[in-house]
């Protein structure tokens, strides 16, 4: 649902910027940035060829009270605009019950690439959630505008759909990518109420953890540089740091980062930063010997996003380095979680189109939390990348089907089970029943 706002009542200050209502005295600054070719065109309008055009737009901004001026504090000048408009999501059944607004922005060309636009957008998002009672923001960019895409991704938006947009003022049609950010994203809500660290410490979770670590250790060299993308609460990063390795860790969810930092020991050489698997621009090419992608593929729902995550992971890994990618398999979830534990109704999922009635292939959306795949999906995903598969491993295999038994196992029985598991976890006739698999790839030289 849409809500009315009045920018006259909004004043936001960040480290480098002030966001406030436009004033008549902003005309010269507006014309300076809006008259530069390529600035407006990225947003669907022609650059201003006269100061009279800027004056007309400025009057509209002041009358409609939906657009904030972006003021550079150090220079005391307006360097762009940030609008808070009605959103396409108000017409969508999935989102129309939410209080939602669309953000759109323009920044003067000399200030591109300095992190100022993400700073402004994040500030408006925080203000909207905290002060305006909004429950979601939408945003979009044309496919030919990678700068805007990076801003959107850095601010945590997720891609929802693509459609054609006719820019009347330019008389051109563009591919428009539409994103949404919920105040309570399903993924963040899930991990805020889930003990991920505890899962890997339970006896049945230990099988997955120990198997994954066993294969990582196989490819560690004495001076290996390690990156963990989607590091969660830091279980693997901390284990590797305890072995003496310096680890760079990236995690999306703030709740997980807080737990990660709480458990961090002074002697563990780990640098943790909030980030997204789709944008690793903080790291140069060919920086790491070992790259771990152990969580993101669980929560990427489109082929394009999965490809992007792999592109970024491969880019930062040196030729000859090793990439570890974890996935959730669908058949184990259908059998164990659906048919046996009845955590979801398989028949209902078929009716809703989440499970194919013939092949039993699955499809997921963010609200489902987990993306489920099969071996053929993984093979198709990596087929055009310059990698060689070293191992395809069932990290938990039968473990989740018999999880209750682990509480009754003696240490000797558990050790024997692990020996059995390690012996068969790469058998092609068995891997498909696992809940989690690990694809281990060497980057071709």
Query: Which H or E run contains 203?
Result: helix 203-218
Number of helices (H), then strands (E), in the chain: 14, 16
At 165 the pLDDT is 78
At 293 the pLDDT is 98
At 268 the pLDDT is 96
Domains, the chain, in order of start with CATH, read 7-183 (3.40.630.30), 192-443 (3.40.50.150)
Instruction: Give dist(CA 114, CA 149) in Å, integer.
Output: 15
* Concatenated DSSP letters of 379-409: HHHHTTSSEEEEEEEESSTTGGGGGGGGGG-
Residue 217 has pLDDT above 80, yes or no: yes
Largest CA distance in the chain: 83
Residue 210 has pLDDT above 80, yes or no: yes
Question: What number is the average pLDDT over the span 254-281?
Answer: 92
pLDDT band of residue 444 (cuts 50, 70, 90) is very high
At 362 the pLDDT is 94
Residue 85 has pLDDT above 80, yes or no: yes
CB 325 within 8 A of CB 297: yes
Question: What number is the average pLDDT over the span 57-85?
Answer: 95
Give Cβ neighbours of residue 165 (< 8 Å, ≥ 6 apart). 44, 142, 173, 174, 175, 176
Instruction: Give dist(CA 424, CA 409) in Å, integer.
Output: 20
Instruction: Give dist(CA 98, CA 94) in Å, integer.
Output: 9
Question: What number is the average pLDDT over the span 331-339?
Answer: 92
pLDDT band of residue 159 (cuts 50, 70, 90) is confident
246 phi-psi bin (left φ>0, alpha ψ -120 to 50, beta other): beta
Give Cβ neighbours of residue 325 (< 8 Å, ≥ 6 apart). 293, 294, 297, 310, 313, 438, 439, 440, 441
Question: What number is the average pLDDT over the span 298-323?
Answer: 95
Q: Which of 98, 158, 154 is nearest to 128 (CA)?
A: 98
| Mean confidence (pLDDT) of the chain | 91
Answer yes or no: pTM beyond 0.85.
no
pLDDT band of residue 193 (cuts 50, 70, 90) is low
Instruction: Give dist(CA 252, CA 328) in Å, integer.
Output: 19
Structure token pair of residue 428:
């092609």
pLDDT band of residue 427 (cuts 50, 70, 90) is very high
Q: Cα angle vertex 354, ends 134, 141, to 5°?
A: 45
Beta bridge partners of 142: 176
Residue 202 has pLDDT above 80, yes or no: no
Residue 238 has pLDDT above 90, yes or no: yes
pLDDT band of residue 196 (cuts 50, 70, 90) is low
CA quadruple 113, 309, 229, 246: dihedral, nearest 10: -70
Q: Is 317 helix (H, G, I), strand (E, B) or coil?
A: strand
For residue 112, count other CB atoms closer than 10 A to its CB: 11
At 44 the pLDDT is 80
Could you report how far apart the first and last alpha carbons of the chain are, in Å? 53
440 or 95: which leads in pLDDT? 440
At 200 the pLDDT is 61
User: What are the pLDDT digits (tens) for 141-154?
Assistant: 988 888 888 888 88
Residue 203 has pLDDT above 80, yes or no: no
Q: Which of 156, 10, 33 is nearest to 83 (CA)?
A: 10
User: What are the pLDDT digits (tens) for 372-388?
Assistant: 999 999 999 999 999 99
């Amino acid at each position: 649902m849409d809500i009315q706002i009045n920018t006259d009542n909004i004043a936001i200050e960040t480290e480098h910027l002030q966001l406030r209502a436009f004033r008549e005295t902003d005309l010269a600054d507006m014309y300076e940035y809006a008259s530069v070719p390529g600035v407006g065109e990225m947003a669907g309008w022609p650059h201003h060829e006269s100061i009279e055009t800027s004056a007309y737009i400025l009057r509209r901004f002041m009358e409609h009270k939906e657009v904030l001026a972006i003021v550079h504090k150090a220079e005391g000048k307006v360097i762009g605009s940030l609008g808070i408009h009605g959103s396409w999501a108000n017409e969508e059944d999935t989102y129309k019950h939410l209080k939602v607004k669309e953000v759109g922005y323009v920044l003067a060309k000399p200030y591109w690439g300095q992190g100022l636009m993400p700073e402004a957008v994040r500030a408006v998002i925080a203000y909207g959630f905290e002060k305006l009672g909004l429950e979601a923001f939408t945003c979009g960019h044309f496919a030919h505008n990678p700068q805007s895409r990076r801003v959107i991704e850095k601010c945590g938006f997720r891609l929802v759909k693509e459609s054609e947009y006719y820019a009347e003022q330019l008389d051109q049609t563009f591919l428009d990518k539409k994103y949404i950010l919920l105040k309570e994203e399903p993924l963040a809500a899930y991990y805020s109420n889930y003990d991920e660290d505890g899962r890997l410490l339970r006896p049945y979770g230990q099988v997955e953890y120990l198997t994954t670590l066993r294969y990582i250790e196989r490819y560690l060299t004495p001076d290996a540089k390690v990156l963990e993308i989607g590091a969660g609460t830091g279980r693997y990063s901390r284990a590797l740091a305890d072995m003496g390795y310096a680890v760079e860790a990236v995690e999306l969810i703030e709740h997980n980062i807080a737990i990660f930092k709480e458990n961090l020991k002074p002697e563990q050489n780990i640098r943790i930063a909030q980030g997204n698997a789709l944008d690793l621009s903080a790291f140069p090419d060919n920086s790491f010997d070992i790259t771990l992608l152990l969580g993101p593929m669980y929560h990427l729902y489109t082929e394009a996003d999965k490809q992007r995550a792999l592109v970024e992971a491969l880019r930062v890994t040196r030729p000859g380095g090793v990439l570890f990618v974890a996935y959730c398999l669908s058949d184990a979830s259908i059998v164990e979680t659906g048919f046996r534990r009845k955590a979801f109704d398989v028949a209902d999922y078929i009716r809703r189109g989440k499970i194919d009635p013939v092949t039993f292939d699955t499809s997921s959306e963010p609200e489902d939390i987990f993306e489920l795949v099969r071996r053929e999906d993984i093979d198709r995903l990596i087929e055009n990348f310059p990698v060689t598969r070293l191992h395809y491993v069932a990290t938990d295999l039968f473990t989740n089907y018999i999880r209750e038994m682990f509480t009754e196992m003696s240490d000797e029985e558990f050790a024997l089970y692990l020996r059995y598991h390690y012996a068969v976890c790469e058998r092609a006739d068995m891997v498909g029943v696992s809940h989690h698999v690990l694809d281990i790839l060497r980057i071709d030289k």
